[in-house]
């Protein structure tokens, strides 16, 4: 019997979102990661919501993907 996948939503924050084109860049980097099932970047608030399996795509990998897109983000406390 296959092991069930545990999906959680992690919220990241970035104050470097300065143009709407960054939304697609960040979402594409995140959704390319193994274990990420969805990513939504809220341009106006700097909020990045990522649906992922933390065993396959830990928060450090999410932050690295945002960094590779050219932006800095931190994990939100809530």
Long-range CB pairs of 56-62 (<8 Å, 24+ gap) are: 57/33, 59/10, 61/33, 62/10, 62/12, 62/30, 62/33, 62/36
- pLDDT in single tens digits along all 78 residues of the chain: 555 668 999 999 999 888 888 899 999 999 999 999 999 999 889 999 999 999 999 999 999 999 999 999 999 875
**pTM for this model (two decimals):** 0.89
């Amino acid at each position: 019997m296959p092991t069930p996948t545990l999906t959680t939503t992690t919220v990241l924050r970035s104050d470097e979102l300065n143009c709407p084109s960054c939304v697609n860049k960040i979402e594409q980097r995140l959704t390319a990661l193994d274990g990420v099932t969805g990513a939504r970047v809220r341009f106006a608030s700097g909020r990045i919501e990522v649906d992922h399996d933390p065993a396959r795509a830990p928060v450090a990998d999410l932050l690295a993907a945002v960094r590779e897109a050219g932006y800095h983000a931190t994990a939100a406390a809530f």
